[in-house]
Amino acid sequence: MVKPFQKPKIILDTDPGGDDIFALLWLQSLIRQGLAELVAVTTAEGNISARQTFATASKLLKLGGISDVEVGKGVAVVAPGWGDAAHIHGSDGMGNLSHRLPDGDHEYETARNSDEILIEALHQYPGEITILAIAPFTNLAAAATKSPGILRQAREIVLMAGAFRRAGNVTPQAEFNVAYNPPAAQTVLASRNDIVILPLDVTHQLIFTEAMLRSVLEVNPNHAIAQLMHSLCRFMTSTALTYRETQGMAGFLVHDAATVGYLFYPEMFCWQRAQVVVETQGVWTTGQTVIDARHGAKSGANAWVATQVNAAAFFMSLLEDLKVLVRD
């Protein structure tokens, strides 16, 4: 007997910011299509300050017509391992374009902390919540510390994190989400044995271009979301070229959207079962994600690490779903 389709319940842990915005827009399209339920957006400090990630998330939810979703404010990081990325993404995380968006409906001062929302939701829906974590992992680690074992109550935890067989993007070894708070990343990796990781090795193949976006804009170029994507695409392409992220190609990397792609289109990825830890003490390697590639039994395997992605299929799926957002 075929089981009826059940919409996945999702918590998006994010620091919008840059490509986080495209991940959230993709998720909003899937919600509009009746394919997902967004339980909460738990914001984190990372790309920009906690207050600003909260404000940006609230604005984007208002733009997408789902302001009823709760937004959490990020848990403070006492000693971040890396500075924020406001110099790359702008003070609002979106190239200072946020003034074009409607004011959000959420109040930072009265909002609950993100770790509190995670704990409550995981208790309320044990085994049902998928956490898409596309920010530094401070909120998840805080929840695990405050309520030991709570992350095992998630159906699945999907991270945009790490670099294994390629260079990092903030140090020679470390990827930003891990480098910003290495102990938090290690806490999350130690929380269960089936963490899903989308690393730079895969996401560096996902270069979004203005030519790709054109097919979305043609549907309804005057739609507010279409105009936002167009402006953001131009800004992020300029930034990516400045920081030499795309080997000279006029486009930008959508690292974080890979988590959404995996959850709804898993056939696009290949995987390696792995034992992964985070270096938290190194002088030159703090924030490095280390994979045990030795030939031998991996009794401590704790993760599934993406090794390949069908980029053409990924962008076909992303673009077709984004068209849904601009059709009304």
Contacts of 8 (CB under 8 A, 6+ apart): 36, 37, 130, 155, 263
The question of whether 255 is a catalytic residue gets the answer yes
Backbone phi and psi for residue 158, each to the nearest 5 degrees, phi listed first: -115, 120
The whole-angstrom separation of Cα 188 and Cα 195 is 8
Q: 22-55: string of b/e by CB count within 10 Å (b at 16+)?
A: bbbbbbbbbbbeeebebbbbbbbbbbbbbebbbb
Q: 215-233: string of b/e by CB count within 10 Å (b at 16+)?
A: ebbeebeebebbbbbbebb
Amino acid in position 233: C
Backbone phi and psi for residue 4, each to the nearest 5 degrees, phi listed first: -65, 150
The whole-angstrom separation of Cα 93 and Cα 73 is 16
CA nearest neighbour of 59 among 13, 7, 35, 94: 94
Angle formed at CA 165 by CA 162 and CA 170, multiple of 5 degrees: 45
H runs (alpha helix) in the chain: 20-32, 50-63, 86-89, 114-124, 138-146, 176-179, 182-189, 200-203, 210-217, 224-242, 257-264, 311-325
Query: Per the residue annotation, which of 89, 99, 255, 295 is the catalytic one?
Result: 255
- DSSP symbols for 256-273: THHHHHHHH-GGGEEEEE
Contacts of 197 (CB under 8 A, 6+ apart): 159, 161, 162, 276, 289, 303, 304, 305, 306
Catalytic center residues: 255
